[in-house]
Structure 1
């Protein structure tokens, strides 16, 4: 017998039937044409495709694999048509029936493709939902972190929301973004709910930028959600800083006035500043006068800065600053008194000198001058600062002070009476050597010269004198404690002793 059946007459219908049967991917055309190896090759190719494609995931099947498989099917169909043209089929005997079977079996790859598309779409939906869930979890996990630490995560989550609603608008995940966004706002603004207003400023400021990152329909009413909360936080934080002396309160109020100029919170700024000024004014005159004066000076400066940065429509801030400035300047006298009584004689002298220079017509100017003199004397003779000097003058005892030195000498004295005067230099006098002062015959102001002098009247009691030559190289002032009694005439002599080196 022959090795193979003789070729059949050409039959186009049979060729088409074999081609269609091979297009099913199962190699059935080869099976009916007795080409078992080629049928097995089709099975292997289809199996490889199924192993790679299943289960369906969001990434789908690589495009190169699909293209290769499609080319393989077309080659199998073309080759099957070539074989089927002259080869009788194993079954069914008639070509029309085989053609019908081929058409029916085409539903297998077509149905598989449709099923796979649906499965892949579901996988994509699940992947997008997983992305949304991960983003929501990240927001919840960062709720206990500071905003500075969590901000990069918040921005990352916002990027996920934006990608879902912009690039996957019809997905189930995109439809859930508005609800997730409401939770997002609530978590980011958690410090506000805890009344930690200063901490809440940064996250609420950030939330006002979110509407610019997402479609308007997604944000909805959340666009204005942070505004009132931020205004309240700026006001409350500024008020807390104003009460505690924090220098940043002006910045908070300035941001409030510039960002929300017509808000109810902005209307509270001037009254809050007025209250702070009034409180500092009340503290002047007591034991905290110096602190109150410094606070008034700071308020004047900060209110001025606030006015410059945020404006002052009704002049309320300017009025408060003016009162703070006047009260701080006037309160310097009370501060000087406090410093004197606490033994800070250097501070008291400086404060009173500044007060005298700034208030030529103030009712306390005369006594401030006396206190400045007494404070300077007390720096040399601490006992002189035990009592606060008065504006009293005169007395029944004459005290003459002479200048036996080549320099002008300022004489300061305090006690029952306080004052100062300057004696001109003695042109024919010299500085004494230290050795001169050790001799038993040493007697300043005893040379019969016409010494510059001045006589003052002082009351009975202890008066403290300080002689201060008016030249820079003098390092130590002379001092004397005089206990004055009735029936005596007293003389003070100012002279300069030249010690070793340049000291005097």
Structure 2
């Protein structure tokens, strides 16, 4: 039969009709080809070609649902039309309708196989998309890895949210199965300062990791990583805090240790705080008897401030820390005195006087108060006469030497002395006395007027060289120092006077 000529109608044949319909369901219009409906076949080819252009290459979202519905409707339509046309249209080949039906059934494997292959391609594209998201999150985390945790934290949290989304909404994907390993590596990287023993710099990163179960990723998905930072953070707080004890009053010592005791009150690390504090106090106190008690006192004073700032709700630890506060305060008190003595023996007489006066004022009930006052007196004299500083003050009083000092001056006098004994005496002003014009005048006439009852003061000393410092209540008058060798069993009378034109004193 010539091409393009329609074959005459044949008797109805349902095998033929079903064969044409099934062949049209392949999307290739093969049913129309068998009954020589070329225009309809070409239309099928064009529609299927358009579908392929839309579908390929495969994407994670696949073919738009509207396109899929329209194409299925088109296949149903051409199958129905093919069945209607094939019902009475004879076939040139194959000659028998059942054979054509069998061939149609076999050829249906083609579109079904194509659909399976396409879905596999779509699934792979979907997996690759998720893997790409995972890689992007990994890269973003890596780029922030060496930044300070405060700067890196927003980046970390944002990209960890990608991990959480993969676990929550794509749990069976290859990317989601890689997330636990990524999280393990992430925790190791962030906590790397701890692993390298850099405990102080490990604190903030470990604190950040502890917040993740509530800010970025669920504790359920973290598993054992949820508690990963706890022991490491407790150790870091302990190590950093105890290392800073006594270090120039570094406030981070108390901050870190208080943080430890409040965050992990029942931890082994919290239980070691008080013994570490006690050991630090003992070590610092050992320096008070060394060659530099002033530096040791500074250190233990700083330590005292740190210890006083420690607080805890654990009664046993709190009681121990209270005892430590008492111990360190006692050491500070002892160190303050030892430092003042060291200043005196080192020739810093002005510093020694100030330190001793401060000690007496701060610790009025200290057993060393009386001796500290003696050191203050000797230090004042030594500032005028350095030889006086060679004498180490003692609490010695009295002796076989008797000294009486008369005051021939219109101003009250204070006499400070040191040597075999150290002390002060005060003599009131002489109402009938005058200021002498010259030293010669004073030496000839001082305390020589029998009509004047000169104010006087007497004291006794052991024999030996005594250094005296004469001071007037008149601040415009220059102080005067004098030393002499006093023999045992002797009685001495001295006259204190004031001379001009420079307002000097004499003895």
Instruction: Judge same fold: TM > 0.5, yes or no.
Output: yes
Q: What is the match of residue 378 of structure 2?
A: 374
Q: What is the match of residue 219 of structure 1?
A: 222
Counterpart pick for 2:338 among 329, 334, 337: 334
In 1, the alpha carbon distance for the partners of 2:80 and 2:348 equals: 116
In 1, the alpha carbon distance for the partners of 2:299 and 2:153 equals: 37
DSSP-derived class of the 2:160 partner: helix
Q: What is the match of residue 405 of structure 2?
A: 400
- 1:477–1:256 Cα change, 3 Å: farther
In 1, the alpha carbon distance for the partners of 2:453 and 2:47 equals: 133
Q: What is the match of residue 184 of structure 1?
A: 186
DSSP-derived class of the 2:133 partner: helix
Once the two structures are TM-superposed, the CA of residue 129 in structure 1 deviates from its matched residue by 2.9
The 8 Å contact of residues 294 and 339 in structure 2, kept in 1 or not, is answered as yes
- 1:106–1:365 Cα change, 3 Å: same
DSSP-derived class of the 1:412 partner: strand
In 2, the alpha carbon distance for the partners of 1:230 and 1:138 equals: 25
Q: Deviations over 1:81-130 (max 9, x none)?
A: 78997999797699x89999888877655544443222111222233234
Q: Deviations over 1:57-96 (max 9, x none)?
A: 33444x3xx52574477479769978997999797699x8
Counterpart pick for 1:132 among 111, 131, 134: 134
Structure 2: where are the runs of 5+ without partners? none
Q: What is the match of residue 155 of structure 1?
A: 157
- 1:120–1:469 Cα change, 3 Å: farther
Q: How does 1:47-446 map to 2 (within 5 A)?
A: 47-61=49-63, 63=64, 66-68=65-67, 70-71=69-70, 74=73, 111-136=113-138, 146-212=148-214, 213-242=216-245, 244=247, 246-307=250-311, 312-313=316-317, 315-360=319-364, 362-379=366-383, 384-393=388-397, 396=401, 398=403, 400=405, 402=407, 404-405=409-410, 409-424=413-428
In 2, the alpha carbon distance for the partners of 1:39 and 1:425 equals: 140
- 1:178–1:495 Cα change, 3 Å: farther
Q: Deviations over 1:156-210 (max 9, x none)?
A: 4432221111111122222232233322322222222222222222233333334
The 8 Å contact of residues 332 and 355 in structure 1, kept in 2 or not, is answered as yes
- 1:89–1:442 Cα change, 3 Å: farther
Q: What is the match of residue 502 of structure 1?
A: none
DSSP-derived class of the 1:421 partner: strand
Once the two structures are TM-superposed, the CA of residue 53 in structure 1 deviates from its matched residue by 3.0
Q: Deviations over 1:313-344 (max 9, x none)?
A: 57221122211112221332211101222333
- 1:43–1:238 Cα change, 3 Å: same
Once the two structures are TM-superposed, the CA of residue 307 in structure 1 deviates from its matched residue by 3.0
The 8 Å contact of residues 403 and 423 in structure 1, kept in 2 or not, is answered as no
In 2, the alpha carbon distance for the partners of 1:358 and 1:484 equals: 35
Structure 1: where are the runs of 5+ without partners? 500-504
Q: Deviations over 1:35-55 (max 9, x none)?
A: 75x866765554454344322
TM-score, with structure 1 as normaliser = 0.75
Once the two structures are TM-superposed, the CA of residue 153 in structure 1 deviates from its matched residue by 4.2
* Greater CA drift, 116-125 or 238-247: 238-247
* Greater CA drift, 103-112 or 457-466: 103-112
Q: Deviations over 1:440-477 (max 9, x none)?
A: 9789978966665434556553624151537xxx4x66
The 8 Å contact of residues 373 and 414 in structure 1, kept in 2 or not, is answered as yes
The 8 Å contact of residues 349 and 372 in structure 1, kept in 2 or not, is answered as yes
- 1:495–1:415 Cα change, 3 Å: farther
TM-score, with structure 2 as normaliser = 0.75
In 1, the alpha carbon distance for the partners of 2:351 and 2:133 equals: 68
In 2, the alpha carbon distance for the partners of 1:154 and 1:477 equals: 76
Once the two structures are TM-superposed, the CA of residue 368 in structure 1 deviates from its matched residue by 0.9
- 1:409–1:52 Cα change, 3 Å: farther
DSSP-derived class of the 1:478 partner: coil
In 2, the alpha carbon distance for the partners of 1:403 and 1:25 equals: 137
Q: What is the match of residue 481 of structure 2?
A: 481
The 8 Å contact of residues 297 and 339 in structure 2, kept in 1 or not, is answered as yes
